[in-house]
Amino acid sequence: MKTLEEVLYPEIAPLRSGRLQVSPLHSIYWETCGHASGIPALFLHGGPGAGISPKSRRFFDPSRYHVVLFDQRGSGQSTPLGETRENTTDLLIEDIERLREMLGVERWLVFGGSWGSTLSLAYAQAHPERCLGLILRGIWLVSDEEIDWWLHGVRYFFPREWEAFAGHIPEAERGDLLGAYSRRMESDDPAVYGPAARAWSRYEGSCLHLLPSPATADAFTEDAVALGVGRLEAHYFRHKAFLTPNQLLQRMDRIRHLPGFIVHGRYDVICPVRYAHALADTWPGVELSIEPDAGHSSYEPGIAAALVNATDRFARHGRFA
């Protein structure tokens, strides 16, 4: 098996970068990379709240793609970090359209993993005429059972990590972990929301990989990550991503004609693989790749290799099958 560095394209600097004021409160950071005349592609990061990184650019052949990446509201280099006000799925979709229009993109390939897969589907269903196709990883459909699994079910695979997560909350409040965390995240006091965000984010970072990755768990406790991930994930979980029940599956008729590729880790405990199958069952012609030796992270070599293979195939043929 190749290493991650062997799988990804070489490091690349942005062609352009800037900030887009999308509301009086929110300013989003954006960048482009690759070939200015290449196939337009949009990269949507996970979380919510995780933000992009230099590695995010490396799933695409820079000689063939013109990639647009941005930090969603409250995430990464966008400001204010961790802000939940004026932060909904519909507003993120509006931001994507503002960015597309500003950059003069007519249509693009939409690429997103985890929460990014959720937002990719919601965006494509709202604006199918703007999409060339979709590459999705780590499917999250925002059902009640998926949210309950994240809050409680992961303990069957990562018991100590879950105990640390639940242990941040006093025992009397543990019957409603989401409510207890949400109350703390919504506080205006950094001494209250900061530790809660770090406990939440560390829990997620500890469970991303098939094999333990202490460095990832540590990175998820840094404020630049934790405040976005902790506060925004609790916010979006509490509001069920501002979607109606089963919305993403019910609206698949709007995008079934688009070419699609889904990759999912067989041992993904953050977003269990059954939901990738549920999505594929509604999408005739989509290619579903289940990686046998991977968890949730896009930076596990098997998942990264499948994603790079998908972008390469789309660049050659305009489809995946």
Among 75, 168, 296, 298, which one carries the catalytic annotation?
Answer: 296
Burial (CB count <10 Å: 0-12, 13-18, 19+), residue 15:
middle
CB 298 within 8 A of CB 209: no
d(CA 234, CA 286): 31
| 23 is known as an active-site residue | no
| Distance from chain centroid for Cα 132 | 19
Relative orientation angle of helices 190-206 and 223-238, to the nearest 10 degrees:
90
Among 114, 201, 206, 213, which one carries the catalytic annotation?
Answer: 114
Of the candidates 1, 2, 4, 3, the residue with the CA atom closest to the CA atom of residue 298: 4
Among 61, 268, 289, 297, which one carries the catalytic annotation?
Answer: 268
Say if residue 159 is preceded by a cis peptide, omega within 30 of 0. no
DSSP summary character for residue 266: T
State both tokens at 84: 């939940």
| 296 is known as an active-site residue | yes
| 298 is known as an active-site residue | no
State which H helix or E strand residue 197 sits in: helix 190-206
| Catalytic positions | 114, 268, 296
